[in-house]
Amino acid sequence: MTEAHFRGKHTLRNADSGMCQMKLLSCQHHSRQKGTITVTPETKPSPAPTTSKELHRHRQAGPNLATAVTLIYVPLHLGGSHRGVSMGPAAMKVADVSAKIEKIGFRVAREVDINVPHSVCWFEKNSTGKCVPEIAEVSQAVADAVEGALASGTIPITIGGDHSLAIGSIAGVSNHFRKLNQKFGLIWFDAHGDINTPDTSDSGNVHGMPFAVSLGQGDPRLVNLCGFAPKVEAEKSVLVGIRAIDAPEREIITKTGVHAFTMRDIDHLGLGKVTDLALSAIGSDIAGLHVSFDIDAIDPQVAPGVSTPSGGGLSYRESHLALELLAETGLIRSIDIVELNPAKDTRNKTADLATGLILSALGQNIL
């Protein structure tokens, strides 16, 4: 597929990209230099943990870092037409996600199963989005669960299910930080933009719209979840790994000012540099990060169990590296793992990979 070329504020698209990179790096507050982590200008750097014991102490001593998680299982399949994605949470349970999280020193405070309606109104008169009432109902339940988990001092990990669940998870995160009068950043890993609206989508599938909804564009029943919009600022949002973009999405990305890093950027610069640039683009005036990780960001040869595979994606190590580097900032407050489809998987290979990604996002390192 032809690589999309954007003109976003922090994308790298022309011969002057080196200057752009230097400008971004000059204002970077999230850095990794000689084993130290600087989270904000006011925080003194501390040695990076190198053993599991040091990692545990690092989590306890870090800025507002939780040592417990809440697992939120969302077998949502209404956002697209691909059978099998609703089995994603069950596959993660088979992969023993809860026990593996506890093995690296976190406590699983609670496990929540979100109910998804079986009877749906697939098409609605005067609506081009499919299953919007049902997705809105599920999204509110997810938002409540995520906000409750954050309020209780845990890290909500929302496991899907299709990516339309992010409408609810981001709404819950946003409502939490809004009440505290704080900002948060969004890093969205995906092969696709997921930034269509009902007016631009050919399929009407809502799993191609959650990013747009979170930015305040789309069906009002989804956009106004929790009573306000947008849920996240475009300048605090980053797309990473995109390579299969619809033409209208290119225009939306450019107009909104969302920061976008394509697979071409990753091939050219390396995933480590792109992660640095993503953090720089978001800025240091945030209280936390929400990481929404669509498994199809990874190359299908590595992660076959997804609904909408797209070749030329992240490698096994690139996907882990990105989350390890984000974990080192101490800023991850909530996580989505989505679009796992066991019906297309091989011996639960992709569920095992997804479980490992969660562990990397929580701070597990090789040593």
CATH number, domain with residue 258 = 3.40.800.10
| Conformational region of residue 270, where left means phi above 0, alpha means psi within -120 to 50, and beta covers everything else | left
Q: Are 273 and 27 in contact (CB under 8 A)?
A: no
Tokens coding 106: 């976190």
Does 299 participate in catalysis according to the annotation? no
Query: Which of 359, 364, 357 has the alpha carbon at shortest distance from 314?
Result: 357
Does 267 participate in catalysis according to the annotation? no
The predicted pLDDT at position 362 comes to 98
Output the 3-class SS for the chain.
Answer: CCCCCCCCCCCCCCCCHHHHHHHHHHCCCCEEECCEEECCCCCCCEECCCCHHHHHHHHHHCCCCCCEEEEEEECCCCCCCCCCHHHHHHHHHHCCHHHHHHHCCCEEEEEEECCCCCCCCCCECCECCCCHHHHHHHHHHHHHHHHHHHHCCCEEEEEECCHHHHHHHHHHHHHHHHHCCCCCEEEEECCECCCCCCCCCCCCCHHHCHHHHHCCCCCHHHHCHHHCCCCCCHHHEEEEEECECCHHHHHHHHHHCCEEEEHHHHHHHCHHHHHHHHHHHHCCCCCCEEEEEEHHHECCCCCCCECCCCCCCECHHHHHHHHHHHHHCCCEEEEEEECECHHHCCCCHHHHHHHHHHHHHCCCCCC
Does 192 participate in catalysis according to the annotation? yes
Query: Which of 155, 297, 178 has the alpha carbon at shortest distance from 233?
Result: 178
Pick the catalytic residue from 30, 77, 192, 259. 192
Q: Are 88 and 161 in contact (CB under 8 A)?
A: yes
**Does residue 28 sit within a domain?**
no
**Does residue 18 sit within a domain?**
no
Does 296 participate in catalysis according to the annotation? yes
Does 30 participate in catalysis according to the annotation? no
Q: What is the pLDDT of residues 107-149, one digit of tens each?
A: 999 999 999 998 666 566 566 789 999 999 999 999 999 999 9
What b/e readout covers 176-191, taking b as 16+ CB neighbours within 10 angstroms?
bbeeeeebbbbbbbbb
| Conformational region of residue 283, where left means phi above 0, alpha means psi within -120 to 50, and beta covers everything else | left
Pick the catalytic residue from 162, 219, 294, 299. 294
Pick the catalytic residue from 190, 318, 324, 336. 190
Domain span including residue 113:
69-361
The predicted pLDDT at position 8 comes to 39
**Does residue 102 sit within a domain?**
yes
Tokens coding 163: 């990516």
The predicted pLDDT at position 367 comes to 82
The structure tokens 């995109």 sit at 242
Q: Are 40 and 284 in contact (CB under 8 A)?
A: yes
What b/e readout covers 97-112, taking b as 16+ CB neighbours within 10 angstroms?
bbebbeebbbebbbbb
Beta-bridge partner residues of 36: 33, 47
Number of separate domains in the chain: 1
Q: Are 337 and 157 in contact (CB under 8 A)?
A: yes
Pick the catalytic residue from 134, 147, 249, 296. 296
The predicted pLDDT at position 24 comes to 36
Pick the catalytic residue from 219, 324, 339, 352. 339
Does 207 participate in catalysis according to the annotation? yes
What b/e readout covers 314-332, taking b as 16+ CB neighbours within 10 angstroms?
beeebbbbbbbbbbbbbbb
Tokens coding 36: 């130290």
The predicted pLDDT at position 9 comes to 39
**Does residue 17 sit within a domain?**
no
**Does residue 266 sit within a domain?**
yes
Q: Which residues in the chain land under pLDDT 50? A: 1-64
Q: Are 142 and 158 in contact (CB under 8 A)?
A: yes
Q: Are 164 and 140 in contact (CB under 8 A)?
A: no
**Does residue 19 sit within a domain?**
no
Q: What is the pLDDT of residues 34-79, one digit of tens each?
A: 333 333 344 444 444 443 334 433 444 444 468 999 999 999 999 9
The predicted pLDDT at position 91 comes to 98
Pick the catalytic residue from 10, 163, 259, 290. 163
**Does residue 1 sit within a domain?**
no
**Does residue 186 sit within a domain?**
yes
Does 163 participate in catalysis according to the annotation? yes
What CA–CA distance (Å, rounded) separates 344 from 295? 13
The predicted pLDDT at position 11 comes to 42
